[in-house]
Amino acid sequence: MLDFLGDLKRTHMCGELRASDAGSKVALMGWVNKRRDLGNLIFLDLRDRSGITQVVITSDAGAEMHDKATAVRSEFVVAAIGHVKLRDPNTVNKNIPTGEIEVVADELRILNDCKPLPFTPSDSVLANEEVRLKYRYVDLRRPEMQHNIELRHKIAIAIREYLNSQGFYEIETPFMTRSTPEGARDYLVPSRVYPGEFYALPQSPQLFKQILMISGFDKYFQIVRCFRDEDLRADRQPEFTQIDLEISFPRPETVFRVVEGFLKTAFATIGVDLATPFPRMSYDEAIRLYGSDKPDLRLPPMKNIADFFEPGSLEGLKIDPRMPLLAITIPGVGKLSRRERDEIRRLVPLLADNTTMVNPRVFEDFERITKSFPSAAEKIRDAVKAADDSLIVILGSGTPQGVFSVQGDRKRRELTYKHAGQLRLALGHGYAERHGAFKHGNFRLLWVTDFPMFEWDETEGRWNAAHHPFTSPHEHDMDKLESDPGAVRALAYDVVINGMELGSGSIRIHRQDIQAKIFKALGMSPEEQQSRFGFFLEALQYGTPPHGGIALGLDRIVMILAGAESLREIIPFPKTAKAVDLMVDAPTPVSERQLKELGIAVVGKKDL
């Protein structure tokens, strides 16, 4: 192979040659990005992951080589041996780093041809996504994809090196295992040896990393694939990569410091210097100020303005005065036309699903508020520090339709904040051009802490765990586990960037008696506890140190740093929104023989 290189000591990358190489003999190998045939001169732009060099075949090269160059098409793989020559000043291409030189070929080898392509990496208009995913190997040759994959590599390496420098061990945990309770459906792997029994692919290494703490590996991390069978959205994939870590004897601060450290190194790969420590905010504060547990700090917070109105005036507006009344401020919007105000009204029915509990009422015309309630309007303007061109929109909860329990009212209050939070974001996106706060490069990170331990399900009339059930309650709230579960805070925290959750973690329960109490509070019978987590409850009794950790989505970090629109742009071989791999065509039916071996009978779709 490649004998034709003869005594050439090394080959060059296509993006590597510069003016200082002029005169040297070189060999380049790569793909033909473009061919231009000027009759006696043929130009081949040769491309590899490092860039592009122009190769020129002159008439001096002889008829045989000229014919070969004529036969070359886009994406042929070729080798060119020749001399580096400075280009004439008027043909220098300032847009590429190799633009000052070209390689005059003495020899051209076609190493492989290429069928006519559905699209080429040099196309300026992107093929549709299904075609890109089916021919992913061609798509990945595009410079943008090469850049994204390189960035992904650099970020992962930077994080590994940082964690290694802090004394963490990277330890692998099994893919074929038991169900982990992260709240999604499991992907199952049938056992041939034990027909009718299944392994579950891990939704996270949660229980294994806790076991590693019991085993004395006090600082664990893993950049690890997790599998969750859940309804897919643009920013979800059935398999995704987490930066997973766990620490023994930590306080939340210990985890924060480690994460801030590795995120700083990750962001440095694109030249961003993240300021640390990140701000902290309790869950309650986040809901009150941003109507979300993932606050987007790039826009101003909301303000509860219910007290600015005279008693009785809110009822007149068909607003429930017991619920918060929120002013949303978006800077730089300017005066709105009638049509633009109508568009805001049209957003309201799109807010959260549970509208019957809140029945949101929205006032998008602040001038009218000013006319009807001049003193309240002045207080509102002051309180939200609105500039003349700020948009102020008010959202409250409509007069309730029905009677709610105390828990139900608590939930309505929270939902009112959340509706306002959603409207705030929808407006923020709608007017992004005007306020400019969403431009790439404006990264606002924070920690959200003190999440509630349980969530009330009004329909079922019961409490659900807000996180996985190994999350520790606040020490001070232990006594409320039975008397007032809604007031119990969890030692759980999220790291959030620009309104997106980057990662989530907690201090864990390390005592078996408390773990059993939590399972009980969640309505899990001792039998169910044993059958689902028996091995773990047993392990907790063999000298478990206090421990805690976190997991961050690597894909999302790369997506944000690459400025990409979807996870599919930064995962080499992603699935479609319908969980299909179009390149390998998976999932597929399997043979009768395979099914039989596994003891599986497939019922027709209509029987499901």
- Which C-beta is closer to ligand ASP: that of 360 or that of 505? 505
Binding site residues, ligand ASP, CB under 6 A: 182, 204, 206, 504-506, 549-551
Interatomic CA distance for residues 242 and 225, integer angstroms:
6
Q: CB pairs under 8 A, 24+ apart, for 248-251?
A: 248/213, 248/218, 248/219, 248/545, 248/546, 248/547, 249/218, 249/545, 249/546, 249/547, 250/507, 250/546, 250/547, 250/548, 250/549, 251/507
- Which C-beta is closer to ligand ASP: that of 328 or that of 551? 551
Q: Determine if residue 482 is left, alpha or beta; phi over 0 gives left, psi from -120 to 50 gives alpha, anything else beta.
A: alpha
Angle at 115 between CA 110 and CA 116, to 5 degrees: 120
Minimum CB–partner distance for residue 69 and ligand ASP (Å): 55
Indicate the length of the chain as a whole number: 608
Contact status, residue 295 vs residue 280, Cβ threshold 8 Å: no
- Which C-beta is closer to ligand ASP: that of 300 or that of 503? 503
Interatomic CA distance for residues 101 and 82, integer angstroms:
12
Minimum CB–partner distance for residue 255 and ligand ASP (Å): 9
Minimum CB–partner distance for residue 261 and ligand ASP (Å): 17
In which residue are the tokens 């969980």 written?
Answer: 579
- Which C-beta is closer to ligand ASP: that of 33 or that of 506? 506
- Which C-beta is closer to ligand ASP: that of 206 or that of 269? 206
- Which C-beta is closer to ligand ASP: that of 424 or that of 556? 556
**82 C-beta neighbours (distance < 10 Å), count:** 21
Minimum CB–partner distance for residue 160 and ligand ASP (Å): 18
- Which C-beta is closer to ligand ASP: that of 56 or that of 207? 207
- Which C-beta is closer to ligand ASP: that of 181 or that of 321? 181
Contact status, residue 302 vs residue 290, Cβ threshold 8 Å: yes
Minimum CB–partner distance for residue 506 and ligand ASP (Å): 5
The distance of Cα 183 from the centroid of its chain, to the nearest Å, equals: 18
- Which C-beta is closer to ligand ASP: that of 227 or that of 363? 227
Minimum CB–partner distance for residue 283 and ligand ASP (Å): 16
Minimum CB–partner distance for residue 226 and ligand ASP (Å): 7
Contact status, residue 293 vs residue 464, Cβ threshold 8 Å: no
In which residue are the tokens 């590429």 written?
Answer: 96
Interatomic CA distance for residues 429 and 343, integer angstroms:
13
Task: Tell me which H or E stretch contains 465.
Answer: strand 462-465
Minimum CB–partner distance for residue 505 and ligand ASP (Å): 4
The token duo for 93 is 């291409």
Minimum CB–partner distance for residue 319 and ligand ASP (Å): 38
